[in-house]
Structure 1
Amino acid sequence: MATTPAHGAEAASGIFPPLNDYASYPSQIFWLALTFGVLYLFMSRMILPRIGGAIDRRADSITQDLEEASRMSDRASAAQQSLEKELAEARAKARATAAQAKAEIEAEVAAETAKTEAEVDARLASAATRIAEVQASAMKNVEDVASMTAANIVNKLIGVSVSKDDAAKAVSAVLKGN
């Protein structure tokens, strides 16, 4: 690309062309000040109030949200304490109910045990009475058999006939240790 000598000379100097002309400085400064002033007025009157309002609204919203969160946290804490209290009451009630049921069951078991023991004792007493009766009857039969056997033995050995009553008296005396 070929450049013209005029442009080439300015490019060779390394200075931006509008800054090369000192006569245009006052108009450039005027337009710079005017543009800066208009931009400043526009920013200060339009943009910054809107940004400030948005920041204020956001700060108010954050403050309200924090207050609401604090209220909800307090409610949650109160609800948790209420729930823990109700749970403690329910546990205590359950323990009391369990203790009462246990006491009732133990009383029923004790009553049944006493009833069963009384029945067993009655049966044992009845069985002991029957055993005593059977034993007495067996002993009477043993005495009768022993009397008859003694009478038969005496009769066979010595040939003397012994009466039934005499044989019974003799066996009875031997059994009693006389």
Structure 2
Amino acid sequence: MATTPAHGADAAHETSGIFPPFDFSSFPSQIFWLALTFGVLYIFMSKLVLPRIGGAIDRRADSITQDLEEASRMSDRAAAAQQSLETELAAARAKARATAAQAKADIEAEVAAETAKTEAEVDARITEASARIADAQTAAMKNVQEVASTAASSIVNKLIGVDISTDDASKAVSGVLKGN
């Protein structure tokens, strides 16, 4: 097969047996294209990609800073709310204790009043019962005195045969009862 001039350079590389990137004769063109590609990529990266990445990093850093500040503010608000809640809770407990103490005092006063009323009623009943007992005792003693006088008069009459008047027998029994 004959080589045509368009394929001549390719044919020369094929026959030399050297891998094209390691062929010293193609180094100047490889270096040119390397520099050109590196330059274009460098300009592209430095003008378009890196500013966008830097901006994204800056926005993210700002966002993180704002989030941290917001978290700090919320933490402060939560601490203030917790302190307020604890203060209100302490006040509510104090109020509950005061209410309980007042209720206890009211109940104790009511119990004391009821006890005093009951004691007064019991004392009145005792006084009334003592009066009835005294009246009953007086009536019983009167009956005992009458019975004793009658019995004494009958005994004296039966023993000695003398009739004693009821008045004399009553006086004698009264004297004995009184200790004379």
TM-score range relative to shorter protein: 0.7 to 0.9
Q: How many residues align?
A: 166
Amino acid of the residue matched to residue 156 of structure 2?
Answer: V
Q: Which amino acid aligns with 1:64?
A: Q
Aligned to 1:104: 106
1:29: how far off?
1.6
Residues 87 and 124 of structure 1: is their aligned pair in 2 closer, same or farther, counting only changes over 3 Å?
A: same
Tell me the equivalent position of 1:173.
Answer: 175
Return the match for 2:123 from 121, 124, 128: 121
The aligned counterpart of 2:151 is 149
Aligned position for 1:66: 68
Once residues 83 and 165 of structure 2 are traced to their aligned partners in structure 1, the CA distance between those partners, rounded to angstroms, is: 104
2:121 is aligned with 1:140: no
1:14-93 equivalences under 5 Å are 17-93=19-95
Residue 47 of structure 2 aligns with an amino acid whose one-letter code is R
TM-score (norm 1): 0.85
Cα displacement (A) at 1:67: 1.2
Secondary structure of the 2:20 match is helix
State the alpha-carbon separation in 2 of the partners of residues 173 and 103 from structure 1: 61
Structure 1 residue runs of 4 or more that deviate by more than 6 Å after TM superposition: none
Give RMSD over aligned pairs: 1.9
Cα deviation, residue 18, structure 1? 2.3
> Which secondary structure does the structure 2 equivalent of 1:90 belong to?
helix
Query: Aligned pair in 2 of structure 1 residues 110, 172: CA closer, same or farther (>3 Å)?
Result: same
User: 1:124-176: per-residue Cα shift (whole Å, max 9, x none)?
Assistant: 11111111111111111111111111111222222222211111111111112
92-101 or 136-145, which moves further after superposition?
92-101
Segments of 5+ residues of structure 2 without an aligned counterpart are: 1-13
Q: Distance in 1 between matches of 2:123 and 2:77?
A: 68
The amino acid of 1:118's aligned partner reads: A
What TM-score, normalized to structure 2? Answer: 0.84
Identity of aligned residues (%): 78
Distance 1:133 1:104 in 2: 43
Can you give the 5+ residue segments of structure 1 that lack an aligned partner in the other structure? Answer: 1-6, 11-15
Mapped partners of 1:145, 1:67: distance in 2: 113
Q: What secondary structure is seen at the aligned counterpart in 2 of 1:162?
A: coil
Q: Distance in 2 between matches of 1:79 and 1:19?
A: 73
